[in-house]
Amino acid sequence: MTKKHAAMEIENLRKVYSTKKEEVVAIKDVSLTIPEGKFVSIVGPSGCGKSTFLHIVGGFIEKSSGKVKVRGKEVEKPGPDRGMMFQESALFPWLNVFDNVAWGLDIQGVAKKERNEIVEKYLKLVRLWDFRNQLPSQLSGGMRQRVSLARILAFDPEVLLMDEPFGALDAQTREEMQVELLRIWSESKKSVLFVTHDIEEAVFLSDTVVVFSGRPAVISEVIDIKFPRPRDLNLYKSAEFRDYRNQIWDMLHQEHHKPVQIVSEVVNG
């Protein structure tokens, strides 16, 4: 071990969609480094390419050029080193909660006894152990996303990728989920790359907020959020919180009128 790698390093990532008539640059040479154990959010207007960016890091969408490294190892395909949480529930409707969480462990050939212990541990962590025999269709949207989180944590990825995981939830459930996520995250301390269009959600959760401006996606600003942890919902009411929020809000709305071209920025750990 000569050099300690960052959790995620994205270098000059570019995504070009080719149609018959033209080439559309969706992501233009974005570089971003997520240090170990940090919670980093990307905010940006819808359609700015932030979700595409995350899907490329996850290996679900092919990049046009650039590099994606997880702990120094370059990635091309989806893999269990990156746990991806999607906006819509990706739980398998034909399996109950327990079997959903056990699925990835079975794939990786974890012995049954150990597997059961892991499933129990994470279902208890998300406080849904009592619901282990229920089907996903019998759960609320918030509960489904908690199961999704348990399923991802169970196969022990090196980093977490989250694509607007609470986007489909109502405002109150979303706030509860944010608190839950921070509690669970504080126990696992895995690095998180979190995509959202909700500025307040990003400020509340993150160590660093990366502001994307759209079409093509470039990083227009990187803001460190200097609130101590653990955080609770009272944070929403503080003046500093509103300052952060307004700062980012202004940035997004400026973007709307006159796009600036800062090609890349690096988050330093």
Task: Write down the least CB distance from residue 80 to other proteins, Å.
Answer: 4
Range 37-76, binding other proteins (CB under 8 A): 58-60
Report in angstroms how near the CB of residue 158 gets to other proteins at its nearest: 13
Determine whether 194 is exposed, middle or buried from the number of CB atoms within 10 Å of its CB (0-12, 13-18, 19+).
Answer: buried
With beta carbons less than 8 A apart as the criterion, state whether 123 and 98 touch.
yes
Task: Give the shortest CB-108-to-other proteins separation in angstroms.
Answer: 6
Strands 39-43 and 208-213: parallel
Per-residue tokens: 52? 């595409």
| Whole-number Å distance between alpha carbons of 227 and 204 | 9
119 contacts other proteins (rule: CB under 8 A): no
- In the set 14, 69, 103, 222, which binds other proteins (CB under 8 A)? 103
Q: Which residues contact 204 (CB under 8 A, 6 or more apart)?
A: 178, 231, 235, 236, 241
By the rule CB under 8 A, 155 interacts with other proteins: yes
Q: Is 140 in the site for other proteins (CB under 8 A)?
A: no
Distance, in Å, from the CA atom of 102 to the CA atom of 240, rounded to the nearest integer, reads 42
- Which residue lies nearer to other proteins by CB, 154 or 223? 154
Q: How far apart are CA 227 and CA 151, in angstroms?
A: 29
Give the range of 90-98, 209-217, 231-239, 251-259 binding other proteins by CB under 8 A: 90-98
Helix (H, G, I), strand (E, B) or coil at 48: coil
- Sheet containing strand 23-34, edge to edge, reads 23-34, 8-18, 65-70, 73-74
> In the set 13, 84, 110, 267, which binds other proteins (CB under 8 A)?
84
According to the binding rule CB under 8 A, does residue 108 interact with other proteins?
Answer: yes
Name residue, tokens 């503080």.
Answer: 238
135 binds other proteins (CB under 8 A): yes
Q: How many residues belong to the site for other proteins (CB under 8 A)?
A: 27
Residue 230 sits in the site that holds other proteins (CB under 8 A): no
Check binding of 17 to other proteins (CB under 8 A).
no
Site for other proteins, rule CB under 8 A: 58-60, 77-80, 82-84, 86, 88-90, 92-95, 103-104, 107-108, 135, 137, 151-152, 155
